[in-house]
Amino acid sequence: MDLSRTPARRWLSPVPWGFALLAAASSLTYGGDHAVNAWASTNLANMGDHPVEALITSAFLFGADPWACLRSIAFVGAILAFLVIRFGNMRAVALIAAGQVLGTLVSEGLLAARIAAGQADPALRAALDVGPSYVIVSALAAVAVAGARRWHRWTALAALAVRAPHITSGLTTLGVTPVGHVTALSTGMLLAWGLRSSDANRYLHRLTARAAPLQTEERTNGRALST
C-alpha cells in the first residue's frame, strides 16, 4: 500500500499536528514575553551563546496577536501536511530544519562580516529576530517544486507570490531577514528537487528490477518454443 495516499498519513501525521500544537502553545503563552523573545532570537549574540536552543525556539514563536497567530499556524500546518504527503515525516523535518538553519547562518554570517568591515551597526548583533518565516518559506518552495498534487503546488506558488514583497523587502541593502528568506527559499527548492530526483531514480530502479525477471522468462520461453 502507498502510505502517502492513506487518510492517516495525509491528515494525522505527527509533523504538521505536532508543529501546530507546539507553536500554538508557545506563541499564546510567550509570544508577548519580551524576555523569552530576546532569548529565542536568532541574532549573533544568541548564536554565540545558545545557538541550538535559539534556532529551535524561534521557529515556534508566531507573535503576540492570538488570532493572527492561530491563522498563521493553521496555514503553516497545511503546508507542512503537503510536505509530509510528498516526502514523509523525517525528510520533511530535515528540509524545514535545513531552511531554518541555513537561512539563519547565511544571513547572520553576512551581518557579522559587514559589522567587521564597518558596514553595519554593531548594535545589530543583539537585534530581535524571531519567528518561523524561514521554515515557512523553505516549506512553500519545496511544495511548489515537488508537491504530490497539482493543487498543492499551485497553492504553494500562489502563497509565495503573495509573500514575495515581504520575502524580498530590504534585500538590496542586505538586510538579515530578506537574505535569510532568499537562502531558505533556495534551500527548499534545491533539496526538494534533489529528493524528487532521488525518488524518481529509485522508482525507475524498482521498475527495472521487476521487469528483468519477466524479460528473462520471455527469452527462455522463446528459445524453448524455437526448439
CATH number (domain holding residue 40): 1.20.1540.10
Examine residue 223 and state whether it is found in any structural domain, yes or no.
Answer: no
Report residue 24 as a C-alpha cell. Answer: 500554538
pLDDT of residue 1: 35
- What is the pTM (predicted TM-score) of this model? 0.84
Domain span at 155: 3-196
> Binning pLDDT at 50, 70 and 90, where does residue 123 land?
very high
At 67-113, the pLDDT tens digits run: 889 999 999 999 999 999 999 899 999 999 999 999 999 999 999 99
Give domain status of residue 225, yes or no. no
The answer to the question of residue 168 being in a domain is yes
Cβ neighbours, 10 Å, residue 159: 19
Residue 215 counted as domain residue = no
Angle between helices 176-226 and 150-168 (to 10 degrees): 160
The answer to the question of residue 88 being in a domain is yes
Average pLDDT over residues 193-210: 64
Beta carbons of 41 and 107 less than 8 angstroms apart: no
Cell of 112: 557579522
Does residue 21 lie within any of the structural domains?
A: yes
Residue 226 has pLDDT above 70, yes or no: no
Residues 35, 18: Cα–Cα separation, whole Å:
25
Q: How far apart, in whole angstroms, are the C-alpha atoms of residue 158 and residue 79?
A: 12
* pLDDT recorded at residue 9: 56
Instruction: Give the model's confidence band at 203: pLDDT under 50 very low, under 70 low, under 90 confident, else very high.
Output: very low
**The predicted structure's pLDDT at residue 222:** 55
State phi, psi for 51 to the nearest 5 degrees.
-65, -40
Q: Directed axis angle between helix 89-116 and helix 133-146, to 10°?
A: 130
| Cβ neighbourhood burial of 123 (10 Å; 0-12, 13-18, 19+) | exposed
As a whole number, the mean pLDDT across the chain is 87
Q: Which is more confident, 219 or 56?
A: 56
Q: Is the model's pLDDT at 207 over the cut of 60? A: no
Model pLDDT for residues 153-196, shown as the tens digit of each residue: 999 999 999 999 999 999 999 999 999 999 999 999 999 999 88
With a cut of 80, say whether residue 3 has pLDDT above it: no
Cα 143–Cα 154–Cα 60 angle in degrees, nearest 5: 45
Q: Own/partner pairs for 75-80, CB < 8 Å, 24+ apart?
A: 75/159, 76/16, 76/19, 76/20, 76/23, 76/132, 76/135, 76/136, 76/139, 77/16, 77/17, 77/19, 77/20, 78/16, 79/136, 79/139, 79/140, 79/143, 79/156, 79/159, 80/15, 80/16, 80/19, 80/139
Q: Which residue type sits at 194?
A: G
Per-residue pLDDT at 213: 57
Q: Of all residues in the chain, what percent carry a pLDDT higher than 90?
A: 74
Does any domain span residue 206? no
DSSP label at 171?
G
What is the domain count for the chain?
Answer: 1
pLDDT confidence of residue 14: 87
**Domain assignment of residue 224, yes or no:** no
Q: Quote the pLDDT of residue 124.
A: 96
Q: Over pLDDT 70: what percentage of the chain?
A: 82
What pLDDT score does 201 carry? 52
pLDDT digits (tens, 9 = 90+) for 6-48: 555 566 788 998 999 999 999 999 999 999 999 999 999 999 9
CA angle, residues 34, 35, 37, in degrees to nearest 5: 65
Residue labelled with grid coordinates 497553492: 155
**Cβ partners under 8 Å of residue 151, min gap 6:** none
